[in-house]
Amino acid sequence: MCSDIVFSKAYFTKSAPSLRECPPETGVEVAFAGRSNAGKSSAINALTNSKLARTSKTPGRTQLINFFNLSDTQRLVDLPGYGYAKVSRDMKEEWQRNLSEYLQKRQCLRGLILLMDIRHPLQDFDATMIRWAIDADMPVHILLTKADKLNRGPANNVRQAVIKELKAAGIANRISIQCFSALKRTGIEELQNQLQSWLTLDNAEHAPASL
Ligand code: GDP
């Protein structure tokens, strides 16, 4: 039996500039990705009840993949934010190479949390990220962030519209989606349940078959 993950126990372990420098693939991890300013740092901080992820960054500086451990074998991974207009083309291309390589080759990756501002969902590169993940057979859980900016009805309409669009594109299969607000602390439990289920998958594999 696996015990519940205590997210507030997360601690920073490493920053890696590329896949080569990521920690060894022992255990399992879940990655967080999203456009710059989508609310990724705020979400990670709300999830872990900490200030682990910085909320004010200088866009354009070297982009690192940050690793936070929940235990010796379970990690959260903060991927560099994308879509910042002033980043040079070289940097964008390098970042995209790193990202696609990470999603395709990282064997211990169990799922991708994709964050999109609820007022601007499914921008160009979001769709690319979803395709990369689906192509790599990776499940995706979408957070529609800053949901406090909309009332509940309109927020749910956005959620339905995104689902419809993903279905129309034929990529809704392994995707789940929820509203989230770091500010109001709504949706945290739903996110924790998703992470818990992905990060404890391997334990089930090692347990004796119970059916
Ligand atoms: P990141 O670049 O994706 O890491 O985004 P940040 O977490 O730094 O957030 C970007 C901006 O959005 C900041 O000004 C945050 O205060 C704001 N923000 C983040 N989460 C929320 C939220 O849940 N509600 C509201 N209203 N603003 C948020």
Please check whether residue 155 lies inside any domain of the structure.
Answer: yes
Q: How many residues does the chain have?
A: 211
Percent of the residues in the chain that have a pLDDT greater than 70, as a whole number? 89
CA 66 to ligand 1 center in whole angstroms = 18
**Residue ranges making up the domain that contains 151:** 7-206
The more confidently predicted of residues 49 and 97 is: 49
Residue 75 confidence (pLDDT)? 97
Measured from the CB, is residue 51 less than 6 Å from ligand 1? no
> 186 in ligand 1 pocket by Cβ < 6 Å?
no
Pocket residue to mutate for ligand 1, from 36, 40, 42, 58, most atoms within 8 A of Cβ = 42
With respect to residue 187, please indicate whether it lies within any of the assigned structural domains. Answer: yes
Q: Which residues, 6+ apart, have CB-to-CB distance to 5 below 8 Å?
A: 70, 71, 74, 192, 195, 196, 199, 200
Average pLDDT, integer, range 4-23:
93
pLDDT > 60? residue 203: no
- Ligand 1 within 6 A of CB of 98: no
What proportion of the chain, given as a percentage, has pLDDT over 90? 66
| Any domain includes 65 | yes
Alpha helix stretches (DSSP H) within 16-145: 40-48, 89-105, 124-135
Least confident stretch, 89-98, 99-108, 129-138, 181-190: 89-98
CATH of the domain at 145: 3.40.50.300
Q: Is 182 in the pocket of ligand 1 (CB under 6 A)?
A: yes
CB 104 less than 6 A from any atom of ligand 1? no
Q: What is the structure's pLDDT at 206?
A: 43
- The predicted model gives 30-47 an average pLDDT of 95
Domain contains 1: no
CA distance 191 to 163: 18
Query: Does any domain span residue 27?
Result: yes
Confidence of residue 55 (pLDDT cuts 50, 70, 90): low
Beta carbon of 73 within 6 Å of any ligand 1 atom: no
Mutation test residue for ligand 1: of 50, 55, 58, the one with most atoms within 8 Å of CB: 55
The pLDDT-based confidence of 97 (bands split at 50, 70, 90) is: confident
pLDDT band per the 50, 70, 90 thresholds, residue 209: very low
Burial of 199 (0-12, 13-18, 19+ CB in 10 A): buried
More confident residue, 201 or 183: 183
Nearest residue by C-alpha to atom 12 in ligand 1: 39
Which residues have a Cβ under 8 Å from the Cβ of 201 and sit 6 or more positions away?
28, 110
Number of folded domains that form the chain: 1
In a domain, 2, yes or no: no
Whole-number mean pLDDT of the chain?
89
**With 80 as the cut, is the pLDDT of residue 87 above it?**
no
pLDDT the model gives residue 189: 97
